[in-house]
Amino acid sequence: MKVRAMPNKQNITVLGSTGSIGVSTLDVIARHPGCFRVVALTANSQVDKLFQQCQQFEPEFAVLLDADAAEILQQKILASGLATRVLHGVEALEQVSSLPQVDSVMAAIVGAAGLRPSMAAARAGKRILLANKETLVMSGSIFMDAVRDSGSELLPIDSEHNAIFQSLPRDFGRGLGQVGVTRILLTASGGPFRTKPLSALEGVTPEQACAHPNWSMGRKISVDSASMMNKGLEVIEAHWLFAASADQIQVVVHPQSVIHSMVEYADGSVLAQLGNPDMRTPIAFALGFPERIAAGVSPLDLFKIARLDFEEPDMQRFRCLDLAYQALRKGGTAPAILNAANEVAVAAFLDEKLPFLGISSVIEHALEQISVVPVNRLEDVQKADRLAREVATERIRRLPRASTSHFTLHVSPNT
């Protein structure tokens, strides 16, 4: 990854500006008005929130995926006297990600929807602040090739990968073994169900799954954290970001979420990055890189924390994490299948059409039913994504709604 100094004033596109990462990004930007200028803001359909952001930051462009929502925003923009141009659709997302005047793109759209605009930014040679892990999970080889070919700069925003980036030598691109790294230790909070008996998870509600003990996140990511699929996706992401094999990535459950990840070296050293669980820290790191800028985050009080605990993840309890490792080892389109089936299953769970333990069952079914092929083009990924969604949707449709017994096949009777 190429390192360059931050320009005097960065022109930024924020993809997914109304989500939790987008809001935190704009919070950091607002603290440094002389350093950043917002060129474009984008959202799915949250008109009122996006309009408020437009009033504060006065971007050149505002993009909504939904055409009807874009029309409503257009009327608000005209009435307010703002000069912001309103666009809609995926093509518009790609456009504002590759504008000549844009220096950096915060890629914070959740899910597969963020793939195309993130790829557009990579092909245009932008500095990419990557918070959309699905981009690497689905199309890691293609995306990394685009980054290299264009001379783009890639900075991870996930707190874990940002911590790893901070703990690695700057020349880690030569290969982990070449710079003395033996393992990446990827920390995980364990989510809200870390200590619950497995039998108690059968009746988990969406509200319980979204009640993360440490982090404030969107509903989809919160469910992924509860199932530890979020950590599974991060394992795959770490593979592409740091050229690490599955065997070089160890997940470590760390309930306090103070150590965001660690890097183990051949001489026995372990370097860690610590901080309060606040996404503004990695966001500020990436926005200011290679300089350090204020994030508005409270200093870490080690005396208040008092203790740091570590546990090995239970792959039986967190079946989704095990499936992610399996998909990484299979390679090809397997991670794209995993991700798509998970998105469908989580959406069904949030709509109360699937029990919590059914999420892993649906994903496993898709991985078993769909042939894995090499990824040579973006179309290979898109085909696998579409097929996995169809298989997962059909699986959910055919399953009995009232029973959860089908989903406990991987549960040990002694757990």
Q: From CA 172, how far away is CA 36, in angstroms rounded?
A: 29
Answer yes or no: is 314 within a domain.
Answer: no
Q: What pLDDT shows up at residue 213? A: 66
Q: From CA 25, how far away is CA 59, in angstroms rounded?
A: 15
Q: What pLDDT shows up at residue 216? A: 59
Q: What pLDDT shows up at residue 113? A: 85
Answer yes or no: is 265 within a domain.
Answer: no
- CA-based nearest residue to 288, from 1, 10, 2: 10
Answer yes or no: is 330 within a domain.
Answer: no
- CA-based nearest residue to 19, from 1, 43, 3, 2: 43
Q: What pLDDT shows up at residue 410? A: 41
Answer yes or no: is 306 within a domain.
Answer: no
The token duo for 283 is 């966001």
158-215 pLDDT, tens digit per residue, is 999 999 999 999 999 999 999 999 999 999 998 888 888 888 888 899 988 888 666 6
Strands (E), 218-364: 249-253, 259-265, 270-274
31-67 pLDDT, tens digit per residue, is 999 999 999 999 999 999 999 999 999 999 999 999 9
Q: Which residue has the tokens 């990600």?
A: 97
Q: What pLDDT shows up at residue 409? A: 39
Question: What's the pTM?
Answer: 0.89
Low-confidence ranges of the chain (pLDDT < 70): 1-7, 212-217, 401-415
Answer yes or no: is 241 within a domain.
Answer: no
The token duo for 206 is 């969406």
Answer yes or no: is 49 within a domain.
Answer: yes
Answer yes or no: is 119 within a domain.
Answer: yes
Task: List the CATH number of the domain containing 74.
Answer: 3.40.50.720
Q: What pLDDT shows up at residue 340? A: 96
Q: What pLDDT shows up at residue 112? A: 80
Answer yes or no: is 145 within a domain.
Answer: yes
Q: What pLDDT shows up at residue 203? A: 87
Q: What pLDDT shows up at residue 195? A: 84
The token duo for 2 is 């190429």
Its domain, for residue 24, covers 10-157
- CA-based nearest residue to 43, from 28, 59, 65: 65
Q: From CA 181, how far away is CA 341, in angstroms rounded?
A: 33
Tally of structural domains, the chain: 1
